[in-house]
Amino acid sequence: MTILDEIADYARLRVEKQKEIKSIEAIRFEAAMFPKKDFAFEEALRKDELSFICECKKASPSKGIIAEQFPYLDIATDYEKAGADAISVLTEPKWFLGRDEYLSEISSAVNIPCLRKDFVVDEYMIHEAAVLGASAVLLICAILSEEEIKRYINICDGLGLSALVEAHDEEEVKKAINSGARIIGVNNRNLKDFSVDTENSKRLRALIPNDILFVSESGVKEPEDVKAIKDMGADAVLVGETLMRAADKSIKLKELKSLL
């Protein structure tokens, strides 16, 4: 069993526990009552310049604790002031030490769209994301079937949420395209063993039609990395650990943009 399998299994357990507290019917009703997000996440990525999705992340399975001090609201508002186009918020509690409260509080504190970064294994988590204030959810090809992705995108559409469909190899890119994804993220980190290959986005870019938004995720450390991602024709880049480890996140974000 890979780490990804363990995380997905734990997500299923989390959902079953949540259903005991609040039924699927109740969370559906609650989500339907929230104002629709009108696909704000997608709109944030549809600009001529490279868009930046900046991540609030306390820990990860591969690196352990990344931020001992985690003033998440300060981090999020600093990102927004520095020109982030969207914020990715980890809500997975065991391996990433995320919390739903991080998302609900950050989405209320900023005026840019937030992505719920979690391991969606049930439609419950999509409705939950809407209630928490997210504008987008992550759908990971490695843990979902093509039919599940199609169904989850349809649920997202009904709520005005965007779906960032994440792929790591050729087969997963095909699955994402066949599912009707409007945004495909290529993860340079292999979620099965957490190795990083920054050339992964470049290899897979040619397989993704230009009318689908393309996001390069993980492995960005220097301005040169960002420039290479822009040059390959990406619409957006997701940056996590590099920003989280920076003493001044605003300065680091400006530095990453310096060669664009």
Residues with catalytic function? 55, 57, 117, 166, 187, 217-218
36: its two tokens: 């629709």
CB 146 within 8 A of CB 176: no
Residue linked to tokens 């696909």: 39
Taking CB atoms within 8 Å and a gap of at least 24, the contacts of 79-82 are 79/54, 79/110, 79/243, 79/249, 79/250, 79/253, 80/110, 80/111, 80/112, 81/250, 82/249, 82/250, 82/253, 82/254
Q: How many C-beta neighbours within 10 Å does residue 60 have?
A: 19
Name the percent of the chain in helix, strand, coil, to the closest 5: 45, 20, 35
Q: How far apart are CA 15 and CA 95, in angstroms?
A: 16
116: left (phi over 0), alpha (psi -120 to 50) or beta: beta
Q: How many C-beta neighbours within 10 Å does residue 251 have?
A: 12
